[in-house]
Amino acid sequence: MTPKELADWLQKEHAEVEDLSNGLREQVATLPRRHLGRWLEDLCARFESFRAHLQKHMALEEYDGYLASVLECRPTLSGRISALKHEHLEIGQLMTSIYQALQAITADDHLIMRHCCSRIRHLLDSVEEHEQAENTMVTHVFTQDIGPQD
């Protein structure tokens, strides 16, 4: 991938993750006090869409995406790339744990539901921080290599 193609791809992928994240943030911010059945179904569906997309997104980053290109350009960043890959594993584990919790919740589990919503917000914050670190690294590597585009 050329640096321009890589930047475009990363921007598109991160925008998709952001859209899914925003939908989840809105969902957990509107936790109703009663009649949780339908709301819980919607939350589970949104979370599953987010989880499936993010898993695919992280796999593409590692195998077909920017990580190999960054490493090729800057072998000295191998430690940072390893740390980002490890965060992919952690994010995957967090998503699996939340997914399992959502599958076990019933509409009567108000306290557990609030706790799960808190975990989702924390996960979304972590994903946002992770993606900002990726964007910063890619921007730094490729703008230094090719210079800023006018």
DSSP 39-71: HHHHHHHHHHHHHHHHHHHHHHHHHTSHHHHHH
Report the number of distinct structural domains present in the chain.
1
C-alpha 42/C-alpha 52 separation (Å) is 15
Q: Judge whether 67 lies within some domain.
A: yes
Q: Judge whether 24 lies within some domain.
A: yes
Q: Judge whether 28 lies within some domain.
A: yes
Residue 113 identity: M
Q: What pTM value is reported for the model?
A: 0.86
Helix 36-63 with 66-73: angle, nearest 10 deg = 40
Residue range of the domain that includes 95:
3-144
Q: Judge whether 21 lies within some domain.
A: yes
Domain at 18, CATH number: 1.20.120
Q: What is the mean pLDDT of each run of 10 residues along the chain (150 residues)?
A: 73 89 95 88 96 91 76 87 93 97 94 96 97 85 58
Q: Judge whether 149 lies within some domain.
A: no
Q: Judge whether 150 lies within some domain.
A: no
For 32-53, write each residue's pLDDT tens digit: 888 889 999 999 999 999 999 9
Q: Judge whether 137 lies within some domain.
A: yes
Q: Judge whether 15 lies within some domain.
A: yes
